[in-house]
């Protein structure tokens, strides 16, 4: 008689499955451990979760996650961490925990050996799980004072998980981890729960950050319960409108927009359903909560463990094994989306109508092209404006840049007597950790660094490295090409040397003041704001310490007071105050007090780098005399308005408001020309505010420098998705 056997699940299979779930991203492992700690506290109890990261290069590094929850004894530890696929989390009995197909924290062994240490009922238990899935028998003994000191659990119970991460996995910068953990959609409920306190600690510097997630209080556009067709299930749908439209891809787990699909406790995905490609859908944020998701997952497991046949309404696991959301082919998911999407589609339709009223009817293709150009051009303009004004356009790097090697600024200008620093940003996929610099012709500038120059981790982008080049101008009114070589990839910048510029004598302030009257801060990124005070104010106050407060909890002033010190170059006392912009869309008035002196500034919080463009381009169905376009500033956003009904533009776009020829190569080329011209004018206006600073020839030479620089980028992006032979034809505008 033949017996029934089972396929053996070996160490290699364990490792492959764990790696598939973690994808080499330590943030995914941290999410697993943080949500486990949150589940250990339960939905009602308060508690702290502490994450510690040791930052090292080219050697193993440690990640530690601590909680002060219930802890576990040895047998529980063996059952939870020593059995693959076992139903041990409590999810299977209906407890309000997340559950993950019996794998859970075991998958973090993909990064290296994992030590689980726990205190429960005055017993200490420990177990080490290796990357191949093997482990020695857990140990257990009476807890000692040394155990408590080592784990940082002075009393009560708790669990500490330590991963010794293999050196082949890159350790993200501390600031990158703060950003990822605070904004990741799967942690948003934890990070906004007042009963939970999540802290990230840099073990190298002992710096710590409280990890929180906040959105402004938004009015709900939709708040209803919906029935799921074909199932005895009800879902709760909540949708609100963001204060500004975002523009992030589905793959970005940090994006603010999107509907969070939830079960009883877990957040499974962030989606705009089939409306992802519609730019107007990215106005909306919300949640779709349905306990039936967890019920179906449990029912499937019940039948599977009993070797019973699955039903047609629940034929497959609804939660994906790799933690990448729900199974979109599951009939329940399809029915749930169909019911919820109707409400989102109605809101999107209203946004489309609102955008069209009184303006142009832009095609989706043109809108995407304009958004892409807005983000890309904003970086070039921002870089040029920072030569004059620290804040530039106030925007950051967009998500659309794909050059493997970039020199920033792209075409630097040096002034005699002033050294300048350039940045070199390199995608990690290039596969190098250093670069070489060459100059041709030589003698125009001096490179102060010795090649090769080392690259380090980019402070805000996990996929990039960054390095710096320090230059000194040698010959004025000359130009040279600077070439950066990274392996087989090159980037070239044109460097121009100008005569020494006259720096006017500083004018000290007449009273206590912020350096600027208003600031636009990136969400979640701390920033220092400058303060200045004349000597008279300091003497009258008898102090150099300034107290700064905020009238909005979404914008937090860090530190009780700021110390001002005398600056001999500015001939006044100066200092800075650190501000944490925690809530997207928040606005606040900051007030500085020094004796009887008072200063204020206005602060607003906008979407961070990778969000909507800080320079927006719109086509409007208007005629404004001889002007083809106009640069406007609306709510701190720079907008280039193109007057589509101007006679010189209308012939290429067609009559408004539909502009039927807007997607032709001729229309796109005209738009590119206009946008480049307005961007050049924007920089010239900011750079030369006083009439007569340049004579006619010098002005036009300067203007054409920026115009040529922006034209190439504008034409490239505006014509990239235009098909047909006319795309490459020479455009003749008469």
Answer for the pair 280, 351: CB distance below 8 angstroms, yes or no. yes
Domain 524-606 is in which class?
A: mainly beta
* Sites in the chain below the pLDDT cut of 50: 1, 7, 85-90, 92-94, 100-103, 389-392, 394-401, 609-613, 690-693, 724-734
pTM score over 0.85:
no
Residue 368 pLDDT: 83
- The whole-angstrom separation of Cα 186 and Cα 292 is 19
Two structure tokens written together for 687: 């750079």
Task: Write down the architecture of domain 11-211 according to CATH.
Answer: 2-Layer Sandwich (3.30)
32 contacts 25 by C-beta, under 8 angstroms: no
Cross-strand bridge partners of residue 588: 603
In the block, tokens 């003994």 appear at 141
Contact between 178 and 247 (Cβ < 8 Å): no
Contact (CB, 8 A) for 32 and 107: yes
CATH number of 417-498: 2.60.40.2020
**Which residue in the block uniquely carries the two structure tokens 């600027």?**
516
Domain ranges of the chain: 11-211, 220-358, 417-498, 524-606, 613-689+696-719
Sorted by sequence, the CB contacts under 8 Å of residue 604 that are 6+ apart come out as: 518, 519, 520, 521, 585, 586, 587, 588, 635, 636
Six token digits for residue 685 = 């206006």
Phi, psi (degrees; rounded to nearest 5) at 681 = -65, -35
Nearest C-alpha neighbor of 181 from the set 192, 170, 194: 192
Alpha carbon 456 to chain centroid, angstroms = 19
577 and 594 in contact (C-beta within 8 Å)? no
Name the 3-class secondary structure at 66: strand
Place of tokens 């603010």: 256
Q: What is the DSSP string of 208-251?
A: EEEE--B-----EEEEEEEEPTTSS-EEEEEEEE-SS-----TT
Q: Looking at the domain that runs over 220-358, which CATH code has it been given?
A: 3.30.230
Q: What is the pLDDT of residue 460?
A: 59
Nearest CA to 212 out of 233, 173, 182 is that of 182
Type and span of the H or E element at 606: strand 597-606
pLDDT value, residue 611: 39
Report the candidate in 150, 281, 224, 200 with the shortest Cα–Cα distance to residue 26: 200
User: Which three-class secondary structure string do you get for 439-460?
Assistant: EECCCCEEECCCCCEECEECCC
pLDDT at residue 386 in the model: 57
Token duo for residue 304: 């599977």
User: Which three-class secondary structure state does DSSP give residue 268?
Assistant: strand
**Integer angstrom CA distances of residue 627 from 56, 619, 638:** 57, 13, 18
Q: Do domains 220-358 and 417-498 have the same CATH topology?
A: no
């Amino acid at each position: 008689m033949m017996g029934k056997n089972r396929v053996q699940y070996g160490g290699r299979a364990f490792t492959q499955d764990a790696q598939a779930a973690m994808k080499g991203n330590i943030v995914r492992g941290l999410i697993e451990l943080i949500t486990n700690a949150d589940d250990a506290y339960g939905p009602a109890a308060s508690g702290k979760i502490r994450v510690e990261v040791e930052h090292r290069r080219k050697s193993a590094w440690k990640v530690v996650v601590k909680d002060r929850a219930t802890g576990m004894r040895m047998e529980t530890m063996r059952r939870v961490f020593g059995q693959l696929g076992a139903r041990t989390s409590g999810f299977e009995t209906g407890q309000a925990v997340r559950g993950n197909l019996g794998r859970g924290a075991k998958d973090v062994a993909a990064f290296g050996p994992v030590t689980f240490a726990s205190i429960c009922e005055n017993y200490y238990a420990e177990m080490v799980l290796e990357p191949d899935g093997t482990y020695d028998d857990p140990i257990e003994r009476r807890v000692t004072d040394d155990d408590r000191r080592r784990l940082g659990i002075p009393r009560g119970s708790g669990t500490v998980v330590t991963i010794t991460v293999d050196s082949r996995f890159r350790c993200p910068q501390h600031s990158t981890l703060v950003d990822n953990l605070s904004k990741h959609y799967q942690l948003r409920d934890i990070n906004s729960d007042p009963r939970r306190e999540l802290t990230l600690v840099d073990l190298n510097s002992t710096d710590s950050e409280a990890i929180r997630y906040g959105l402004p209080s938004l009015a709900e556009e939709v708040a209803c319960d919906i029935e799921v067709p074909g199932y005895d299930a009800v879902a709760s749908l909540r949708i609100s409108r963001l204060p500004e439209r975002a523009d992030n891809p589905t793959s970005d787990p940090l994006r603010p927009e999107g509907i969070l699909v939830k079960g009883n406790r877990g957040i499974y995905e962030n989606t705009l359903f089939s409306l992802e490609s519609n730019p107007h859908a990215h106005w909306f944020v919300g949640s779709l909560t349905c306990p039936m998701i967890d019920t179906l997952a449990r029912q499937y497991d019940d039948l599977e463990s009993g070797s019973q046949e699955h039903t047609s309404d629940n034929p497959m696991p609804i939660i994906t094994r790799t933690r990448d959301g729900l199974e979109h082919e599951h009939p329940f998911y399809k029915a749930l989306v169909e019911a919820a999407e109707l409400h989102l589609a109605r809101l999107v339709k209203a946004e489309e109508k609102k955008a069209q009223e009184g303006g142009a009817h832009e095609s989706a293709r043109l809108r995407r092209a304009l958004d892409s150009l807005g983000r890309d051009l904003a970086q070039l303009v921002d870089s040029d404006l920072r030569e004059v004004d620290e804040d530039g356009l106030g925007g950051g790097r967009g998500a659309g840049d794909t050059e493997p090697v970039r020199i920033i600024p792209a075409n630097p200008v040096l002034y005699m007597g002033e050294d300048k620093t350039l940045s070199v940003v390199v995608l990690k996929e290039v596969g190098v950790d250093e670069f070489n610099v060459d100059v041709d012709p030589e003698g125009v500038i001096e490179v102060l660094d010795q090649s090769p120059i080392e690259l380090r981790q980019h402070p805000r982008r996990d996929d990039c490295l960054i390095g710096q080049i320090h230059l000194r101008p040698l010959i004025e009114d000359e130009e040279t090409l600077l070439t950066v070589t990274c392996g087989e990839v090159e980037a070239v910048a044109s460097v121009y040397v100008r005569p020494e510029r006259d720096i006017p004598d500083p004018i000290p302030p007449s009273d206590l003041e912020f350096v600027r009257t208003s600031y636009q801060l990136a969400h979640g990124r701390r920033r220092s704001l400058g303060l200045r005070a004349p000597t008279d104010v300091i003497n009258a106050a008898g102090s150099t310490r300034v107290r700064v407060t905020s009238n909005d909890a979404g914008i937090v002033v860090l530190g009780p007071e700021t110390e001002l010190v005398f600056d001999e170059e500015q001939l006044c006392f100066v200092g800075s105050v650190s501000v944490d912009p925690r809530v997207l869309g928040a606005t606040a008035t900051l007030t500085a007090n020094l004796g009887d002196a008072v200063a204020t500034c206005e602060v607003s919080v906008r979407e961070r780098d990778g969000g909507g463009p800080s320079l927006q381009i719109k086509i409007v169905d208007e005629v404004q005399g001889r002007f083809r376009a106009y640069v406007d500033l609306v709510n701190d956003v720079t907008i280039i308005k193109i007057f589509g009904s101007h006679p010189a533009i209308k012939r290429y776009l067609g009559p408004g408001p539909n502009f039927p020829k807007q997607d032709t190569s001729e229309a796109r080329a005209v738009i590119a020309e206009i946008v480049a011209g307005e961007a050049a004018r924007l920089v010239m206006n900011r750079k030369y505010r006083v009439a007569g600073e340049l004579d006619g020839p010098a002005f036009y030479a300067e203007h054409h420098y920026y115009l040529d620089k922006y034209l190439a980028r504008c034409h490239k992006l505006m014509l990239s998705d235009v098909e047909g032979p006319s795309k490459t034809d020479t455009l003749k505008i008469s």
